Amino acid sequence: MRKLLILAFGILALSSCGPSSLYYWGEDFSNTLIYDRITYRNFKDQTPESICSMVAGFEEIINNPGGERDVVPPGVCAEYGYLLVQPTTAEYFAKYATSGQKKLFSV
């Protein structure tokens, strides 16, 4: 009986060790997280195109929450809001955004 209890406890403890995705951070065709890709590119290059990519990426993550909780990941709205209050973001987006990126904001 004692061995059975130890075995049951071991199985129960190991069954909870699987990966879980509480939040959806965006995913593209190469299984790279959109959040990782856009934030790394922006901090690395700081180009107008990377700003447009960040705006579109954040918009996609916020509008399509997923994961187990089906909510926006923590900190994404804060980073998106900070990006939007930068004085050059609107100008860069108007000039350098692709038609697909601009389509996210068409009414």
Structure tokens at 15: 């069954």
Structure tokens at 32: 């790279």
Q: Give a yes or no: residue 36 inside a domain.
A: yes
pLDDT higher than threshold 80 for residue 87: yes
Encoded amino acid at 55, one letter: V
Q: Alpha-carbon distance 55 to 90, whole Å?
A: 10
Q: Give a yes or no: residue 51 inside a domain.
A: yes
Asked whether 24 and 65 are in contact (CB, 8 A), the reply is yes
Q: Which residues pair with 27 in a beta bridge?
A: 33
For residue 64, what are the domain limits? Answer: 21-103
Q: Which residue has the higher pLDDT, 9 or 75?
A: 75
Mean of the pLDDT values across residues 15-44? 70
Q: Give a yes or no: residue 15 inside a domain.
A: no
Asked whether 36 and 61 are in contact (CB, 8 A), the reply is no
Q: How many domains does the chain have?
A: 1
Q: What is the mean pLDDT of the chain?
A: 80
pLDDT higher than threshold 90 for residue 95: yes
Q: Give a yes or no: residue 95 inside a domain.
A: yes
Mean of the pLDDT values across residues 86-98? 91
Q: Give a yes or no: residue 12 inside a domain.
A: no
Q: Model-level pTM?
A: 0.70
Instruction: Specify the pLDDT at position 107.
Output: 46
Mean of the pLDDT values across residues 65-74? 84
Q: Give a yes or no: residue 66 inside a domain.
A: yes
In 16-88, where does DSSP find H-type helix? 34-45, 48-63, 76-85
Q: Give a yes or no: residue 54 inside a domain.
A: yes
Q: Give a yes or no: residue 78 inside a domain.
A: yes
